Amino acid sequence: MNSIELRRTRAAFAPIATLGSARRFGTRAAVAACAGLLMASAAMADTLNYVIAFPAGGESDVTARIQEPVIKAVSGKDVVVQYKTGAGGATAWSSINKLPPDGSTVVGTNLPHIFLQPMAQNVGYKTSEIVNVYVFQLTPDAIVVPADSPYKTLKDLIAAAKAKPGSVTMSGSGTNTGPHLSATTFDKAAGIKTTYVPFAGTTPAVVAMLGKQVNAAMTFTTAAIQQGDKVRMLAVALDKRLETHPDVPTFKELGIDMVSGVFRGVAVPAATPEAKRKELSDLFAKVNKDPAYRKRMVEAGYVVTDIDYAQMPAFMAKQGKEYEAAAREVGLLK
């Protein structure tokens, strides 16, 4: 074979060689792509997306931040806290079932909010569509005023409201929510009329109170503790006085039969498999058992609760009946 024929032969086989190289390159690219997907899947498996339905700084957010390092310690998962705020939490809860049902995402829920909102109006979700897997804390209600408020006691606030019905304004987190129900319950029990002013969450409601946009806030023991000497708690909605504030009376002591607050937990999309639901319930149970975590929660004014996935149906049924009865009793629902 002469040199010209040799060159022609090489030229004839060149496409085949190029095709082989391409195939080899394609295989390597495919392997690399698969490896990338596996790494991405592993990263997702090692991350828990935690959606909060209220602005940063409120009780739901604070709890998630306290839980974050403990979740990492007991599960090895990183926690990514996200915010989907609006409509007193309904914006997040109405979209929960559009999220991936693979156990990678939980959404913080609040009771009685998820009962009262759908009872009162169309908010884009039904209570039965919210799959709670764990309820880990109760945040007790409290009436709070600025430290320099003329209302030194709950008796002072009640007297002002009786003297001029509607003149005492009280901020709270959202409409058809725990604070809204508690403010209405307080009015009826005390025989007065205050004006409830809803805000997007606990933080803006407290800011409004501190800024004297309203006279008081129907908020939580936790919010009062966070503000320190900037505020005064007039009463707490507990059976006995708060351990961290033994000088603050309960509503019961003052003749107002009121023990109330907001339960907080986490829910998953309804399509989440039972095994994943149980896995996440077990995870938050482990978090709740951590002694340092429990200590921090108590010091912050929370009451730690342990309602797991197995207990949830009975708990939800009981709470739903109580919330509806209370809301109808005070005229919040027709």
Q: What is the mean pLDDT of the chain?
A: 89
Global pTM exceeds 0.75: yes
The secondary element (H helix, E strand) that includes residue 275 is: helix 274-289
Residue 240 predicted with pLDDT over 70? yes
- Ranges of H-type helices in 98-191: 113-120, 154-163, 178-190
Mean pLDDT of 67-71: 98
Residue 50 and residue 79 in contact, taking contact as beta carbons nearer than 8 Å: yes
Residue 139 and residue 302 in contact, taking contact as beta carbons nearer than 8 Å: yes
For residue 135, what are the β-bridge partners? Answer: 265, 307
Q: How confident is the model at residue 149 (pLDDT cuts 50, 70, 90)?
A: very high
For residue 141, what are the β-bridge partners? Answer: 220
3-state secondary structure 238-261: CCCCCCCCCCCCECHHHCCCCCCE
User: Each residue of 5-21: pLDDT tens digit?
Assistant: 333 333 333 433 333 44
Annotate 178-212 with DSSP letters as a single string.
HHHHHHHHHHHHHT---EEEEESSHHHHHHHHHTT
At residue 28, the pLDDT reads: 52
Mean pLDDT of 106-110: 98
Give pairs for 124-127: CB < 8 Å, separation 24+. Answer: 124/90, 124/93, 124/94, 124/95, 125/90, 125/93, 125/94, 125/96, 125/97, 127/316, 127/320
Which of 325, 314, 319 is CA-nearest to residue 111? 319
The residue among 74 and 44 whose pLDDT is bigger is 74
Q: How confident is the model at residue 243 (pLDDT cuts 50, 70, 90)?
A: confident
User: Each residue of 82-103: pLDDT tens digit?
Assistant: 999 999 999 999 999 999 999 9
At residue 93, the pLDDT reads: 98
Q: How far is CA 59 from the centre of its chain?
A: 8
Q: How confident is the model at residue 244 (pLDDT cuts 50, 70, 90)?
A: confident
Residue 100 and residue 67 in contact, taking contact as beta carbons nearer than 8 Å: no
User: Each residue of 258-305: pLDDT tens digit?
Assistant: 999 999 999 999 999 999 999 999 999 999 999 999 999 999 999 999
At residue 332, the pLDDT reads: 87
User: Each residue of 23-62: pLDDT tens digit?
Assistant: 444 555 444 444 444 343 444 469 999 999 999 999 999 9
